Amino acid sequence: MADMKTQKINKTLKLKVCGMCDADNVAAMAKVQPDLMGFIFHEASLRFCAQMPEVNLPSGIIRVGVFVNSSLNYILEKKQEFGLNLAQLHGQESPDFCREVSRYLPVMKAFNVHEDFDFLKVKAYEEICDYFLFDASGLRAGGNGIQFNWDLLQKFQGKTPFFLSGGIRPDSVMAIREFNHPSLAGIDINSGFEIRPGLKDIEKIKQFKYELSS
């Protein structure tokens, strides 16, 4: 029987590319075929997506709307406008609010992890959310370009699949391969692969995806 490390390396991880907003960049990224593509609807973000890029994305790419303490009406408005398949809630949304959103869209709840983060608070979201996303804690809700101590995630004993985020760069593949957690489902990349905020380096992401799956 293969050991746990070998099982982890052979596990297929989903790739989520977040912070897309330029139409040409979105079209080029679609050809790379990430599993999920994130559009940020938080006006304070450097990657705020004011309007949907006029690009026909393949049906196999999940459209993720990223929200920070938004109202349900705003989320539903963007769902309709952008054809969203999933809502990523990246603020202080309560379990009850996540449950309400889940009536209309699958939910990915994000948590900003730091040394004193209490993983017990995650339990209240376990039966509600389809995914969790563990990100670094910084000045902004996300897109800070910093990495947290992934060893802290060993304190997470839940079964909800999660995406790993925060400061992931083209040279992070080996560290990702060495990171072992049974609920790790995917990798979320953003600022570490940018030419400038909101504009992704397509070749770097193409190479990263290839190395991640090799």
- Which residue ranges form the domains of the chain, and what is each CATH number? 4-213 (3.20.20.70)
What confidence score (pLDDT) does residue 7 get? 36
pLDDT in tens, 76-115: 999 999 999 999 999 999 999 999 999 999 999 999 999 9
- The answer on pLDDT for 62 being more than 90 is yes
**pTM, full prediction:** 0.91
What confidence score (pLDDT) does residue 133 get? 98
Query: Is-contact 108 133, C-beta < 8 A?
Result: yes
What confidence score (pLDDT) does residue 175 get? 95
Mean pLDDT of 155-166: 95
- The answer on pLDDT for 178 being more than 50 is yes
The residues, any chain, with a CB within 8 Å of residue 53's CB and separated by 6 or more, are: 20, 21, 22, 23, 26, 27
Query: Is-contact 8 177, C-beta < 8 A?
Result: yes
Query: Is-contact 210 164, C-beta < 8 A?
Result: no
